[in-house]
Amino acid sequence: MNARQAALRLVHRYRPRTTAAVVGLVLVGLLALRIVVSGVLLHREAVDDWKQDLSNLSLLLAENTAQSMTAARLVLDGVSGEIDAAAPADAQALAAAVGTRATHQMLLHKIGGVPQVDVVSIVGGDASVLAFSRAFPAPPIRLDERDYFEYHRRHPDGGMHVSAPVQNKGNGAWTFYISRRISGTDGRFLGVVLVGLSCDFFSKFFQNTSIGEHTAFSLYRSDYTLLARWPAVPAMMGKRNLTGSTYRLLEQGKSDGVLQVDSPRAADQGRAVDRLAAIRLVRDYPLAINVTVTDDVYLAGWRRMLLTMGGAAVVSLLVLAAAVALILALLRRQERDAATLLALQECAATAHAAEPPQPQIAPPSADAPASASAQGARILLVEDTALNRQLVCLQLGTCGYAIDTAENGALGLQALAEQQYDLVLMDCMMPVMDGYQACQALRAREAAGGAPRLPVIALTAGVTDDDRQRCAAAGMDDYLSKPFTAAQLRAMVEHWLAH
């Protein structure tokens, strides 16, 4: 047997098709493993990014809540100081001192310019209202069943108390109260000073801060009693939530944190919901803020990316399968030709020389088509306040835009010179160079270079006609008045990107 025959026999016994099939399966497995690992890593990155964003948002809301509470506490301290200055010795002296039109006018003056304060009342030791900011003389209302009245009656040195929310007997609105005890010169309980805070004020503030659908904001008392919420769930108002994420985190002794949970949710009738919850205590007050987003929000970007990766993977698998099938077909034909040639050689080995086997054709290689993902619109946000920059980025973060930021007009112009943008969101009042000057400089640059006009949307706290005319005179195309909702911002951006 010559060397050629030995080689043909080896090819006949050893089937390269098996090796090709195994290699193809290994490649498919490696591709699938890469997709799974990438998906897991991207999921972890998306969750970590949202945890940081929600933590920062909870800090912003907690700080604003603390400022609102401080303004209300100053009203409470001011009214208490007026009563202490009168130094009533007994219930009759207290009633005579505060049951006057002058006291009513003083209460109205104290709450002027404090929109979160709904009402101020002075209550006597018999639980009857002696002075009332809404009416003079005070209506015949008794408050002996309220928790704050019983608390101050039993605690001479209890300090300021935060009540559970109640439906106000004056107008039916949900209100919670901060209160202080009124004591006589001998320390006897004479009554209570009440400052009622509107739950709707906090709910509307949360609504304006919302970053979109499937986002919830809650304000709790330190015993987990719900004081305010957006979106509203009336059935939960004034009730303690001892199963939610706020309870789980604060009971660990922490003052803030972000939890990823999928436990039953009271606001969804006890249905298990996958969500991220950022919880933070409010400084100086027995309150806590909870910001919650469901997986429809914090995994939206990851799911879009996973869908894109899945489509690219399907295309790659199809190309790989076609390449393997082609290679197997070529190897099958090669094996068949080799077997035929070996049989002919064995039959005519002594008669004539076997024809050499046909030269093998190398199988073509198939490269997976490169996939290119279309980039979204690029937006430049020029805003000097870090928290406002972060809030706008959160409100637009799920839309797929690429957002760059600058802290003043000068830096904004520098960014516009270095990068092409589709839209500019420009704050009007900034240090170094304000938005008006920056927009005028941009329009001058466009005119000098013959560049197309770039849409500029003003972000302004002003709402007067003069403010609008000044924006237009500076070359701005449109404006949004602060505070604006996520829906308003997105609608404005989509409108100008469509031009």
What tokens does 150 get? 């019983």
Three-state secondary-structure class, residue 123: strand
Single-letter amino acid code for the residue at 32: A
pLDDT at 169 > cutoff 80: no
Q: How far is CA 241 from CA 200, 223, 237, 248, 380, in A?
A: 20, 9, 10, 10, 42
Rg value, the chain, Cα: 36
Buried b (16+ CB within 10 A) or exposed e, 312-350: bbeebbeebeebbeebbebbeebbeebeebbeebeeeee
Closest CA to 364 of 323, 331, 334, 332: 323
- Cβ neighbours, 10 Å, residue 86: 13
Contact 176, 164 (CB under 8 A): yes
Tokens 């199963």 correspond to 243
Contacts of 81-89 with C-beta under 8 Å, sequence gap 24+, read 82/106, 83/122, 83/182, 83/193, 87/185, 88/182, 88/184, 88/185, 88/190, 89/184, 89/185, 89/186
- For 266, residues 6+ apart whose C-beta sits below 8 A from its C-beta are 233, 236, 241, 243, 244
pLDDT at 362 > cutoff 70: no
The residue-averaged pLDDT of 352-373 equals 40
Contact 191, 94 (CB under 8 A): yes
Higher pLDDT, 331 or 348: 331
What does the pLDDT read at residue 391?
A: 87
Higher pLDDT, 24 or 494: 494
Cis peptide leading into residue 88 (ω within 30°): no
pLDDT tens-digit map of 52-77: 999 999 999 999 999 999 999 999 99
What does the pLDDT read at residue 343?
A: 57
What does the pLDDT read at residue 124?
A: 95
User: Alpha helices of 133-268 — where are they, by DSSP H?
Assistant: 147-154, 199-209, 245-250
What does the pLDDT read at residue 370?
A: 29
**Strand pairing report for 264-265 and 226-230:** unpaired
Q: How far separated are the first and last CA of the chain, in Å rounded?
A: 81
What does the pLDDT read at residue 247?
A: 95
pLDDT tens-digit map of 21-52: 788 788 888 878 888 888 888 889 989 999 99
| Alpha-carbon torsion (135, 140, 144, 146), positive or negative | negative
pLDDT at 378 > cutoff 50: yes
Contact 467, 478 (CB under 8 A): no
- Cβ neighbours, 10 Å, residue 452: 5
The residue-averaged pLDDT of 150-178 equals 86
CA-to-CA distance for 258 and 255, rounded, in angstroms?
A: 11
Q: At what angle do helices 435-449 and 409-418 cross, to 10 degrees?
A: 30
Nearest-10 Cα torsion for 337, 340, 343, 348: -90
Contact 57, 100 (CB under 8 A): no
The residue-averaged pLDDT of 428-455 equals 94
What does the pLDDT read at residue 374?
A: 30
Q: Annotate 293-355 with three-state secondary structure.
A: EEHHHHCHHHHHHHHHHHHHHHHHHHHHHHHHHHHHHHHHHHHHHHHHHHHHHHHCCCCCCCC
DSSP assignment of 51-114 equals HHHHHHHHHHHHHHHHHHHHHHHHHHHHHHHHHHHH---SHHHHHHHHSSHHHHHHHHHHHTT-
The residue-averaged pLDDT of 238-250 equals 94
Is residue 285 left, alpha or beta, with left meaning phi > 0 and alpha meaning psi from -120 to 50?
A: beta
The residue-averaged pLDDT of 323-350 equals 67
- For 59, residues 6+ apart whose C-beta sits below 8 A from its C-beta are 256, 280
CA-to-CA distance for 207 and 217, rounded, in angstroms?
A: 8
pLDDT at 404 > cutoff 50: yes
Q: pLDDT band at 359, cuts 50/70/90?
A: very low
Q: pLDDT band at 358, cuts 50/70/90?
A: very low
Is residue 58 left, alpha or beta, with left meaning phi > 0 and alpha meaning psi from -120 to 50?
A: alpha
The residue-averaged pLDDT of 350-371 equals 42
CA-to-CA distance for 78 and 334, rounded, in angstroms?
A: 99
What does the pLDDT read at residue 297?
A: 87
Closest CA to 143 of 128, 158, 133, 132: 128
Least confident range of 165-179, 283-297, 361-375:
361-375
